[in-house]
Amino acid sequence: MITEEKAEKHSSRFKIIRFCIFLSGLSVFAQLYLFQPLLPMVAGYFKTSVGDSSLLVSSTTTGMAAGLFFFAFRADSFPRKKLMVFSLIVSGMLTVVSAWIPSLSLMIAIGAAKGFILSGVSAVALAYLTEEVQLSAVALAISTYLSGNTIGGMSGRISATILAGELGWRNAVLIIGIESLLLGLVFWKLFPESKFFRPQKTDYHLKMKQMKRLLTNPYMLRLYCTAFLLMGFFVSIYNYLTFRLEAAPFSLSHFFIAFIFLMYIFGVFGTMITSRLSDRFKRADILKSSVGLMLAGLLFLISQNIYAVIFGLGLLTLSFFAAHTMASQMTALHAKEGKSSATSIYWLFYYCGSSFLGSGTGYLLHATSWNFFIGMLSVVLVICLALTTFNKSPKID
């Protein structure tokens, strides 16, 4: 019988968990969206379209979604730490290898494999935190992980853009791959083993029952659909804003465009703010308000004034990460059993949104205009707002 207590907020174990879980989020998102700011360069290098080049991003997120579906069944069969270490180190190796691949189609295939492997981290990270950390500190731990995601996404995009402008996009990919590999090695060395989890043989019948119960639960299904729409919307903005900023009337250089991704700092604030607000307000209300602010930020992106665009992007980014933090917390806390299945399904919907909406809107933009593109994304947010408005649960709020 396990008699040890879970990690308390001020304990050394909790501090190490927070540090390492932050590093894991940093590595995953630095690699996952590595090619996002490089799409114009890649499109030019391979002489392909906006939509086709975006497959470098969506293939990785599609692989992530496929991996999460797999781990929804198998995550509880593997030790938490070993799975996360394997994912971080092997994905770093694949990023390094992709720097030398001469074919776009082969790079897309490697991206899909990398996404599948990276899913091992996302599939169990939230479950690990809810198992190993005291309930009073879970929100802080989850916010730390999502902050790592945010900073990883920001630093990866900024460094990729600057390095690509100075050294070429292939060297940028190589350097970020090496950095990710080093983060994986640090994680391997420091991350504590699970104390409150033992690998179990997969009972597929039980897993199917769990997944059916989760997917037919109206509360959880609305959260999953919210994750799909939120991420599809957000990736669409950051995938294609670079193309707009390089064109008239802005005509910005790659160096200035790189610092647009500093807006991700507002995402860190978003995760921090929500972890504090969740003690004072209902989570469902915070989620709904965050989506409303995303819609307000989106409207500024129609402007041809660069300062209005920057303000709108900052508001939109802060609000997105606030909404995502809330939705993921609500998912993890609402699932009383089968937590790894519940969180895996959340991430599955999340990355499916990135893959399908993220690429689909690129073809839409190519065929229409920026204003039409923004109009369609506003419809996505209105649907998301409707889902959050009718999704209240007294159990966790």
Whether the model pTM is above 0.75: yes
Taking only the tens place, the pLDDT of each residue in 304-344 is 999 999 999 999 999 998 999 899 888 888 876 667 678 77
Three-class DSSP category at 172: helix
Residues of the chain with pLDDT under 70: 1-3, 336-338, 340, 391-397
d(C-alpha 365, C-alpha 376), whole Å: 10
Token digits of residue 261: 């991704």
Query: What pLDDT is stored for residue 18 in this prediction?
Result: 94
Query: What pLDDT is stored for residue 396 in this prediction?
Result: 43
Domains of the chain, first to last? 12-389 (1.20.1250.20)
Burial class (CB in 10 A: 0-12, 13-18, 19+), 356: middle
Going by the DSSP 8-state scheme, the letter that residue 196 receives in this structure is S
Query: What pLDDT is stored for residue 351 in this prediction?
Result: 83
d(C-alpha 218, C-alpha 293), whole Å: 25
Task: Map tokens 């802005």 to a residue.
Answer: 250
Contact 143, 65 (CB under 8 A): no
Closest to 385 in 3D by CA, of 297, 295, 313? 295
Type of residue numbered 286? I
Taking only the tens place, the pLDDT of each residue in 114-134 is 999 999 998 889 889 989 999
130 phi and psi, to 5 degrees?
-70, -25
Helix-strand-coil percent breakdown of the chain, rounded to 5?
Answer: 80, 0, 20
Q: Which residues touch 251 (CB under 8 Å, ≥6 apart)?
A: none
7 phi and psi, to 5 degrees?
-65, 125
Closest to 87 in 3D by CA, of 130, 127, 116, 48? 116
DSSP β-bridge partners for residue 7 = 133
d(C-alpha 307, C-alpha 297), whole Å: 13
d(C-alpha 198, C-alpha 324), whole Å: 29
Contact 347, 226 (CB under 8 A): no
Task: Map tokens 């791959």 to a residue.
Answer: 177
Closest to 377 in 3D by CA, of 233, 231, 224, 230? 233
- Number of Cβ atoms within 10 Å of the Cβ of 122: 28
Sign of the four-CA dihedral 107, 252, 229, 314: positive
d(C-alpha 86, C-alpha 90), whole Å: 6
Closest to 124 in 3D by CA, of 181, 176, 61, 191? 191
Token digits of residue 279: 């003690």
Q: Which residues touch 331 (CB under 8 Å, ≥6 apart)?
A: 126, 220, 223, 224, 227, 342, 343, 346
CA atoms within 13 A of residue 384's CA, in its CB half-sphere: 31
Contact 48, 172 (CB under 8 A): no
Task: Map tokens 């959260």 to a residue.
Answer: 223
Query: What pLDDT is stored for residue 391 in this prediction?
Result: 66
Contact 263, 382 (CB under 8 A): no
Contact 344, 116 (CB under 8 A): no
Task: Map tokens 């995009």 to a residue.
Answer: 157
Q: What is the DSSP string of 318-340?
A: HHHHHHHHHHHHHHHHH-SS-HH
